[in-house]
Structure 1
Amino acid sequence: MNHLVFEIGLALVLIALAGLLSAKLKFSVIPFYILVGMAVGPHSFHWGHIDLRFIESAELIEFLGRIGVLFLLFYLGLEFSVGRLIKSGRSIAVGGTIYILINFTLGLLFGLFAGLPMMEMLIVAGITTISSSAIVAKVLVDLKRTANPETEMILGIIMFEDIFLAVYISIVSGLVLSGSTSIGGILLSAAIALGFMLLVLVVGRKSVPLLNRLLRIRSNELFLLVIFAVLFVIAGFSETIHVAEAIGALLVGLVLAETEHMKRIEHLILPFRDFFGAIFFFSFGLTIDPLSLGGAVWLSLGAVVLTLIGNFAAGMWAGRSAGLSPKSSVNIGLTIVARGEFSIIMANLAKAGHLLPIIQPFAALYVLILAVLGPLLTKETKKIYSGMEWVYKSLGLGREKRKKTVSHE
Structure 2
Amino acid sequence: MDHIILEVGLAIALIAVAGLLSAKIRFSVIPFYILIGMAVGPHSVEFWHFDFRFIESAPLIEFMGRLGVLFLLFYLGLEFSVGRLIKSGRSIAVGGTIYIAINFTLGLLFGWLSGFPFQETLVIAGITTISSSAIVAKVLVDLKRTANPETEMILGIIMFEDVFLAVYISILSGLILSGSTSIGGILLSTVIALVFMLALLTLGRKAAPMLNKLLNIRSNELFALVIFAGLFLVAGLSETIHVAEAIGALLFGLVLAETEHMKRIEKLILPFRDFFGAVFFFSFGLTIDPTALGGAVWLSLAAVAVTLIGNLTAGMLAGRSAGLSPKASVNIGLTIVSRGEFSIIMANMAKAGALMAVIQPFAALYVLILAILGPLLTKENKLIYYLLNRLFRWDRKQASTSHSK
TM-score w.r.t. the length of structure 2 is 0.79
What pairs up with 1:2-13 in 2 under 5 angstroms?
2-13=2-13
- Letter of the 1:159 partner, please give it: L
Name the structure 2 match of 1:368: 368
Instruction: Check 1:194–1:241 CA distance in 2 against 1; reply closer, same or farther (3 A cut).
Output: same
Does 2:130 align with 1:127? Answer: yes
CA RMSD for the aligned pairs?
3.8
Q: CA deviation at 1:133?
A: 2.4
Please say if residues 335 and 377 of structure 1, whose CA atoms lie closer than 8 Å, have aligned partners that are also in contact.
Answer: yes
Does 2:155 align with 1:159? Answer: yes
Name the structure 2 match of 1:36: 36
Instruction: Check 1:322–1:75 CA distance in 2 against 1; reply closer, same or farther (3 A cut).
Output: closer
Q: CA deviation at 1:116?
A: 5.5
- Letter of the 2:38 partner, please give it: M
Please say if residues 130 and 161 of structure 1, whose CA atoms lie closer than 8 Å, have aligned partners that are also in contact.
Answer: no
Q: Which runs of 5+ in 2 are unaligned?
A: 401-405
Superposed CA deviations along residues 230-268 of structure 1, whole A, max 9, x for unmatched, are 121222233334443223322322222222222221221
Instruction: Check 1:123–1:335 CA distance in 2 against 1; reply closer, same or farther (3 A cut).
Output: closer
Does 2:338 align with 1:339? Answer: yes
Name the structure 2 match of 1:64: 64
18-27 or 205-214, which deviates more: 205-214
Partner SS, residue 130 of structure 2: helix
Please say if residues 334 and 381 of structure 1, whose CA atoms lie closer than 8 Å, have aligned partners that are also in contact.
Answer: no
Does 2:140 align with 1:137? Answer: yes
Please say if residues 208 and 259 of structure 1, whose CA atoms lie closer than 8 Å, have aligned partners that are also in contact.
Answer: yes
Query: In 2, distance between residues paired with 1:352 and 1:129?
Result: 17
Q: CA deviation at 1:19?
A: 1.0
Query: In 2, distance between residues paired with 1:122 and 1:56?
Result: 34
Name the structure 2 match of 1:207: 207
Query: In 1, distance between residues paired with 2:180 and 2:230?
Result: 29
Query: In 1, distance between residues paired with 2:296 and 2:154?
Result: 28
Partner SS, residue 216 of structure 1: coil
Q: CA deviation at 1:107?
A: 2.9
Instruction: Check 1:174–1:269 CA distance in 2 against 1; reply closer, same or farther (3 A cut).
Output: farther
Superposed CA deviations along residues 295-336 of structure 1, whole A, max 9, x for unmatched, are 33233212211112123333554566677887x378537643
Please say if residues 15 and 36 of structure 2, whose CA atoms lie closer than 8 Å, have aligned partners that are also in contact.
Answer: yes
Instruction: Check 1:331–1:319 CA distance in 2 against 1; reply closer, same or farther (3 A cut).
Output: same
Name the structure 1 match of 2:298: 298
User: Size of the alignment, in residue pairs?
Assistant: 386
Name the structure 1 match of 2:403: none
Query: In 1, distance between residues paired with 2:183 and 2:94?
Result: 31
Q: CA deviation at 1:190?
A: 2.4
Name the structure 1 match of 2:27: 27
Instruction: Check 1:108–1:255 CA distance in 2 against 1; reply closer, same or farther (3 A cut).
Output: farther
Please say if residues 348 and 360 of structure 2, whose CA atoms lie closer than 8 Å, have aligned partners that are also in contact.
Answer: yes
253-262 or 45-54, which deviates more: 45-54
Please say if residues 335 and 375 of structure 2, whose CA atoms lie closer than 8 Å, have aligned partners that are also in contact.
Answer: no
Query: In 1, distance between residues paired with 2:182 and 2:288?
Result: 32
Q: CA deviation at 1:31?
A: 1.4
Identity in percent: 63
Q: CA deviation at 1:12?
A: 0.1
Please say if residues 338 and 375 of structure 2, whose CA atoms lie closer than 8 Å, have aligned partners that are also in contact.
Answer: no
Partner SS, residue 104 of structure 1: helix
TM-score w.r.t. the length of structure 1 is 0.78
Query: In 2, distance between residues paired with 1:275 and 1:384?
Result: 33
Instruction: Check 1:313–1:44 CA distance in 2 against 1; reply closer, same or farther (3 A cut).
Output: same
Query: In 1, distance between residues paired with 2:242 and 2:122?
Result: 15
Q: CA deviation at 1:158?
A: 1.2
Q: Which runs of 5+ in 1 are unaligned?
A: 394-398, 404-409
